[in-house]
A and B are shown apart, each in its own frame.
Chain A
Amino acid sequence: MVTFAILASVAVIGALGVVLLRQPIHAALSLVGTLLTLAVLFVTLQAHFLAAIQVIVYGGAIMVLFLFVIMLLNIEHERKEVQPWLRWAAYGVGLVAATGLIVGAMLDPRQAPDHAVVRDTLQGGHPRLIAEVLYGEFMLAFQLVGVLLLTGMVGAVALVQRPRPQRTSAMIDERRKERASDALEAGGR
């Protein structure tokens, strides 16, 4: 329980850092910290496989790409002044959402399962168990998610593709003239 309290507070502090830190790189690093803390939480539940996947996918791939994009765009100096009313509206919405979450959790009659129960259900988060669920029960969903990701990727490639340079008639005329003068020169020799 003490471990959980420490890890949970580190995760929450990291998550707050993502929102509150001004420097985008620091915010992204803070998110990495949160994700790694979550992985450690999985380890305390003996779900080693989930923890490793969490680190590989989120820590090793997704966040590196995040940082890559932040560094590439170099957005650290873009600090726009926001409308004052927008800031207050954001505070309000955040407050309402947080209160809703806490009240919802308090009103929920279900008891949070015991640490031991969670651990037994996960059964060490063994890859074989996860594979059976993922490729058995949720096969269709799994495939659909794959198609969705592919669509997203194709869309991203389509978005960044530069339009082909249009050949205007003026350009073609110019090239024809060039070619004609080249031919004249060659003939003159």
Chain B
Amino acid sequence: MDSLLATFVKALLLAAALLGAFAYMTLIERRLLGRMQHRHGPNRTGPFGLLQPIADALKSVFKEDIIVSKADKFVYVLAPLISITFALSAFGAIPGGPAGSLFGYDPWVLDLDIGLLYVLAVTSIGVYGIFLGGWAANSKYALLGSLRSSAQIISYELGLGLSVLSVIMIAGTLNLREIVEMGIWGVSPLLWPPLAIAFGAFVISAIAEVNRTPFDLPEAEQEIVAGYLTEYSGLKWALYQMAEYVNMMTAAAFISTLFLGGYRGPAFLDQWIPGISEWPIVWLVAKMAIFMFLFIWLRATLPRLRYDQLMRFGWLYLFEVALGATLLTGAVIAFVL
């Protein structure tokens, strides 16, 4: 356990790192999308467009901050703050390395026995940001966006929760660090099929939870302008963007932690560089990068689902598949092992 001061400093550093990563993720995303769509993307501001995020940030700060006259002012201002606060606090429970590996400090902010539930709980409160923002703006497009987002997030939370159950049953703990340390794939090869199904279902639900293509209906720009974002501008709009990207990063880290061994690196590398698989943060970031790339790749590849397709997919397929994986895991644990 670290002192309170160390925890505070780590929390500040984590928030700064997440926001810095957000700024450069926007650049990486636009450059990658450019490549995938045979165009350049932003490459004029600095070498490789590296100064673009700074220019964007300055633009957001100096833009006029419009508060719609018919808006519910209190909720209108509160909503983006809810989004960013809960997005930033969710990441704190995800472990970045073995205990004491970060210059003698623990590479996490919170080590909770219920770390897994904490992440789920905090991210589920984050939906209020989108939901209230859309309502407070007092515009039909924004309201439609917020209604869609709440229905979508509630529906896909089922798939998310059910696919996590397999991991919890195998690991027997809700502590994320212990889940990583025990290595759920090493328990028995018989558990691989249900775990693989749960992994797939979890990744799909996580993409829906962070409102990314093909599940980006809350801000479907061809149908409802920009959904909940329609009436937001300047800094508040930037806060929503931050929250979206931070949520993506949390989702990527959460998937890696639950299913892919989190902060642990491949052990065979140790024969060349001793101790490399124990390095903090490096491996988690590497695994997160794979999923961030996947999210961007999907955005360039898939068209958006229609609303009824989204609901049918969530309730009739994803839910059942995740439930099946849970039952299969339970059956294997109860009858075979």
In the bound complex, what is the Cα–Cα distance between A64 and B149 (angstroms)?
Answer: 11
Question: B75 at interface (Cβ–Cβ under 8 A)?
Answer: yes
- Name the 7 nearest CB pairs between A and B, nearest first: A60-B124, A52-B117, A55-B121, A56-B121, A52-B121, A48-B114, A52-B114
In the bound complex, CA of A98 to CA of B124 (Å): 34
Contact B124 A49 (CB under 8 A): no
Q: Quick check: A59 and B75 within 8 Å, CB to CB?
A: no
- Residue A127 CB within 8 A of the other chain: yes
Contact of B135 among A59, A71, A127 (CB under 8 A): A71
Query: Which A30-57 residues have a C-beta within 8 angstroms of B?
Result: 32, 36, 48-49, 52-53, 55-56
Q: Give the number of chain A interface residues (Cβ < 8 Å).
A: 24
Among A52, A53, A55, chain B packs the most CB atoms within 10 A around the CB of A52
Cβ distance A13 to chain B, nearest Cβ, rounded Å:
16
> Closest approach, in angstroms, between the C-beta of B178 and any C-beta of chain A?
13
Residues in A whose Cβ lies below 8 Å from that of B118: 48, 52
Dominant secondary structure of chain A at its interface with chain B: helix
Which one of B132, B143, B147, B157 contacts A60 once the chains associate, using CB atoms below 8 Å? B157
Q: Which residue of A lies closest to B172 (CB)?
A: A128
Residue ranges of B at the interface with A (Cβ–Cβ < 8 Å): 72, 75, 112-114, 117-118, 120-122, 124-125, 127-128, 131-132, 135, 143, 146-147, 150-151, 153-154, 157, 174
A64 contacts B117, C-beta separation under 8 Å: no
The SS class assigned to the B binding surface is helix
The interface centre, meaning the residue of A29, A49, A71, A72 with most chain B CB atoms within 10 A of its CB, is A71
Q: Does A67 contact B (CB under 8 A)?
A: yes
Measured between beta carbons, the chain A residues less than 8 angstroms from B113 are 48-49, 124, 126
Q: How far is the CB of B25 from chain A (nearest CB, A)?
A: 26
CB<8 Å pairs between A and B, sample of 29: A25-B72, A25-B132, A25-B135, A26-B75, A29-B132, A32-B128, A48-B114, A52-B114, A52-B117, A52-B120, A52-B121, A53-B117, A55-B121, A55-B122, A56-B117, A56-B120, A56-B121, A59-B121, A59-B124, A60-B120, A60-B125, A60-B127, A61-B154, A64-B128, A64-B131, A64-B150, A67-B135, A67-B150, A68-B150
Contact A29 B125 (CB under 8 A): no
